Structure 1
């Protein structure tokens, strides 16, 4: 796919009354912002024609940025030394591109390096917190590549912004307005009450730097590139509505009448965890765990508003001996997922706030987040990013929602993205990254329910 870049510019917020705020403002990142991945996350949206001209989409972006000002800011250290976002309306990157061919024959059906050409480069750590690329195809279709810095917004907050962008492009009011109080919302208790071992869960002690262990950048890129391009492949797996229903029924079959059945998420993660463990040929004595994002908005008391703009995510880590995981039923694996996620409750979130805010351990001991995207291989573990409850399909510039939503090509072995189908019928897509010799076995067994 040959993508021609036609223009690249900065889009700044456009205020309805024409008056920008008089002064720049530093807003401290919350404890949840600082513990998450410090990088851009890219999504691809595909729209069938007709689509509005780029100028209207750009205007909508400018209006949305005036409401979601953090996206137009810059991350740095504030006057008090805390990691913060500077609200100075510096703007977002807006790229216009074209492909002289129809989308159907240009964009690969599955994840591949070509997909990265549909959004601006994010591997160099761009200063703009939002980067957008509009790619027009000869058939009139439009690909929108959106890359946003994770420390500014989690999945729910990003989806809210994308919906607002669509509303502004359609010249409709941005409603509801975001709740922007990340600097003051999550205050520690007095005195702090740390009930759980957050060190080595959300934070860890950095590995010591030994003299002679440094790897120069060129060698590092070669090593990662060799792993990503030659050994790790990303497979797109479709899970039909009927398959998901049968999977949930099988997982829930052993539950007592007093228990509700396992959810779609619990059942699907349990099934894929077992299938990947088999495909990797992991045996008894090997511990395998899954990193699962848990949205704290409805778990914390009082609840955090759904329209809160920022991060409210921690992680659950169901784990098992690999031999036991595959020898027992999918219901057993679903129960492990259920219990681990249930344990990340209000008490756990509050304990984390107290630990990260007031214990002093993070700064005093030089702890770093365990959320580390630089790890190229996760085996024997998995990392799940689930968009099943997030309405990324709500991005609508006036011609209807996208007919396809997908993550960018991300060849981290052991990463798993779950994306609801645009069909809206309960089916979904799973993007599974595995070593190529394990992937063939996974493809063979992934639709078998055991």
Structure 2
């Protein structure tokens, strides 16, 4: 899988001011749902067919790993993906290390799958992923019986020896993390008894929805404001036909650009609006952004609509930290929106952003400051004093994106609403989640 190796040669690009975003566009499929459809399809007996799969490097890393462990995962000529699984408990010993590229989701969720199978797997990744902490997943999976040997500091490269039968546990998440929750639930699939995850703060629930769709015995109860998720193990999963909705995290860049660039009137089709993912659009509306939902519907158990975004003057707000788990990946582009708003935007409770692909608080603060924004960085968030709608000056030199795809795309949006453009040091990592980003941006702004 050459596509998931580290980008050796940076590909810098200057994003220049552009005309309004108009017309109708469609963003690639949701990354979270794409990952899970491949993993669960590979554990179901029979053929799962997936349309709209995100074909970025992160998802291709998941596909390669499942092939290495015995599943058939193939792309058909019409773009449909066909996944033939042989059942829970049947994962095979991979012949070599599993290269996760830049994908933290692939790594943490696949660690969960391996943890309850009698196989040993070594996980490797690129320089960015190899700095990300895995301890929060190692802790519960070790309680279930997996033997995990990480590099110093709890990072990749990492070797995990699964245990079968594993031990069912009740695990209270110490921090809000859909990846940790999903890793424990996936380990529970091949574990006799009931595996329970207690979630003090709700996080994205794609795993729960999809596990039920594939036939797993999963129930969710509310106790004292907490979610108790129970999964009965030794599951028998049924193959599914899945249509992946558009990724709201990808739609976010275009929605914010349309709000900021004068004259914009853009429809983003087929966007997944799972309530555990869509809080950015709530915050943008609180700021005065004109974002309306057209043709709301349900596809595969997920709420979907077309988003109509129009240029709007924005006003700074204090973002409720309770919304953070439902928009954790969208804060970088929200910081761009806040930089051009009227007044001050305050964000708190965002410690999680310091352990993403990069430290997204410090990296975005530095990049936006270089572009002329007024940013104050706190330990758990940023305070942003907006320009009142005036364009940012732009950057004389390339800003550092730290191999982080969302930083690169967020600063591309900043370039559209600058006087002199914004240069990012490397656009290569964008391929991990949104390989068609630049082409779609050029199309929406009439530069294609």
Task: Identify the structure with bigger relative contact order (alpha carbons < 8 Å, sequence gap 6+).
Answer: 1
TM-score (norm: length of structure 1): 0.27
- Structure whose alpha-carbon radius of gyration is higher: 1
Q: Normalising by structure 2, what TM-score?
A: 0.27
